[in-house]
């Protein structure tokens, strides 16, 4: 019996995701030497085993989720919204820093001795909730006033709770909500007004944080220094990451210097997470970097194909809501590594080391596969029984 018989849904997405996650073992193993010899934590082989274990758990999550009918995620999103809000509030109150990061993004769970990044879970739940909202309003006219409480209030709460500790994640989440809202048929004039309000809110937050720096230690200064580094106006300290990343890409050339032979991994901070694409470009060259880009483009293409073929409007929005953030985050990470974008702190999906972010990516992919699997089942049922569609409608 073939393995593919157990894997439902889009086989191309299965192949891309498994290939990317298995490839991650090599650069993570190589770049982990930074954590061992520079930071002084653990062993290289220990970091590899941890990453392999996390990926294996992620595969289990993806497989289990893809077996669920995608209509279940409508109710799960509604149930999950108050839960993630509570988790975000707790994280804001007692969050901890990991590996010297200047942000309270992780919630410590002392019972199991692990830390959980609540913003990653909140992203998946909120986008599923937004997709469900617009699916439920497909046959009715959406009015701004009527959408404030059920739609924009939860968005404001979640994004507002993430913003102080993680600007890039909050902005990316807000952008994805706007994209899903646009695809869901929300009036464009309202979206423009909401974006204007969001920019005004961000400016007020920055001014408030500058006026009361003790309330948000180091965050606004970090954002400003990253923008200055990108524009070339930063100091030698703030330009450090970008210059090392550019050097790694330049050293790699076309063919790369070989797996595990990176020289910049020991001087480039976050080389196994935020800047892992630079290490890949150094070790595997432009060919390896472009191949990775091709795989994410293929993933995006299959996302669009599955969204177009889904016979449910909720399924269409759900596929886009889960898939587009993964691709966008990947492009942002790659753009930072090659100095096209300012440093954001976004990991490379399915490649960078991590726990919660990887698991939530696998969770999102599992939801996408669930939609594609249910579409395939529905199509095959209709082919074998031409009256199935008529019976469903009546």
Find the mean pLDDT for residues 161-178.
88
Number of domains in the chain: 1
Find the mean pLDDT for residues 47-62.
93
pLDDT tens-digit map of 114-125 = 677 888 999 999
For residue 383, being part of any structural domain is answered with: no
Give the DSSP per-residue string, 175-186.
Answer: HHHHHHHHHTT-
| Chain mean position to CA 348 | 8
Work out the number of other CB atoms within 10 angstroms of the CB of residue 231.
Answer: 9
| Chain mean position to CA 388 | 38
Tell which residue, 184, 73, 167, has the closest CA to residue 129. 73
For residue 390, being part of any structural domain is answered with: no
For residue 190, being part of any structural domain is answered with: yes
For residue 315, being part of any structural domain is answered with: yes
Tell which residue, 57, 185, 67, has the closest CA to residue 114. 57
Find the mean pLDDT for residues 299-316.
93
pLDDT tens-digit map of 347-363 = 999 999 888 889 999 99
Q: What percent of the chain has pLDDT over 90?
A: 44
Choose between 319 and 382: higher pLDDT: 319
pLDDT averaged over the chain? 83
| 50-59, 133-142, 277-286: least confidently modelled range | 133-142
For residue 199, being part of any structural domain is answered with: yes
Confidence of residue 268 (pLDDT cuts 50, 70, 90): confident
Choose between 135 and 377: higher pLDDT: 135
For residue 21, being part of any structural domain is answered with: yes
Confidence of residue 110 (pLDDT cuts 50, 70, 90): low
- What tokens were used for 282? 């150094």
Domain that holds residue 291: 3-378
Distances (CA, A) of 87 to 120, 137, 351, 364: 11, 28, 26, 19
For residue 386, being part of any structural domain is answered with: no
| 67-71, 141-145, 178-182, 292-296: least confidently modelled range | 141-145
Residue 197 has what pLDDT?
A: 87
pLDDT tens-digit map of 174-229 = 999 999 999 998 988 888 888 888 888 888 877 776 776 666 655 666 666 666 66
Residue 101 has what pLDDT?
A: 46
Confidence of residue 341 (pLDDT cuts 50, 70, 90): confident
Find the mean pLDDT for residues 66-73.
93
pTM for the model = 0.87
Work out the number of other CB atoms within 10 angstroms of the CB of residue 90.
Answer: 12
For residue 318, being part of any structural domain is answered with: yes
């Amino acid at each position: 019996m073939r393995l593919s018989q157990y894997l439902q849904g889009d086989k191309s997405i299965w192949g891309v995701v498994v290939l990317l996650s298995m490839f991650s073992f090599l650069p993570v193993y190589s770049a982990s030497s930074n954590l061992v010899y520079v930071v002084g934590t653990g062993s290289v082989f220990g970091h590899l085993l941890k990453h392999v274990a996390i990926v294996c758990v992620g595969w289990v999550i993806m497989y289990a989720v893809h077996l669920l009918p995608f209509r279940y995620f409508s109710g799960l999103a509604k149930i999950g919204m108050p839960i993630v809000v509570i988790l975000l509030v707790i994280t804001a109150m007692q969050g901890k820093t990991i590996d010297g990061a200047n942000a309270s993004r992780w919630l410590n769970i002392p019972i199991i001795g692990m830390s959980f990044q609540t913003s990653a879970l909140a992203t998946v739940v909120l986008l599923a909730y937004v997709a469900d909202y617009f699916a439920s309003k497909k046959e009715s006219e959406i009015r701004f006033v009527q959408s404030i409480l059920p739609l924009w209030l939860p968005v404001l709460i979640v994004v507002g709770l993430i913003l102080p500790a993680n600007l890039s994640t909050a902005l990316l989440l807000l952008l994805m909500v706007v994209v899903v809202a646009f695809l869901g048929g929300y009036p464009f004039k309202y979206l423009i007004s909401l974006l204007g309000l969001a920019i005004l809110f961000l400016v007020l937050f920055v001014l408030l944080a500058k006026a009361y720096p003790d309330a948000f230690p180091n965050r606004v200064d970090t954002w400003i220094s990253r923008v200055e580094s990108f524009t070339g106006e930063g100091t030698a300290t703030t330009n450090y990451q970008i210059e090392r990343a550019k050097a790694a890409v330049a050293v790699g050339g076309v063919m790369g210097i070989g797996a595990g032979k990176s020289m910049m991994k020991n001087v480039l901070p976050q080389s196994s997470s935020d800047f892992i694409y630079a290490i890949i470009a150094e070790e595997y060259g432009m060919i390896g970097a472009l191949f990775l880009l091709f795989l994410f483009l293929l993933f995006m293409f299959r996302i669009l194909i599955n969204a177009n073929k889904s016979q449910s409007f909720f399924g269409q929005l759900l596929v886009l809501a889960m898939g587009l953030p993964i691709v966008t985050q990947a492009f942002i990470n790659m753009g930072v590594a090659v100095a096209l974008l300012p440093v954001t702190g976004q990991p490379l999906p399915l490649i960078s080391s991590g726990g919660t972010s990887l698991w939530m990516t696998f969770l999102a992919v599992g939801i996408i596969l669930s939609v594609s699997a249910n579409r395939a089942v529905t199509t095959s049922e209709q082919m074998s029984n031409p009256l199935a569609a008529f019976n469903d409608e009546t």
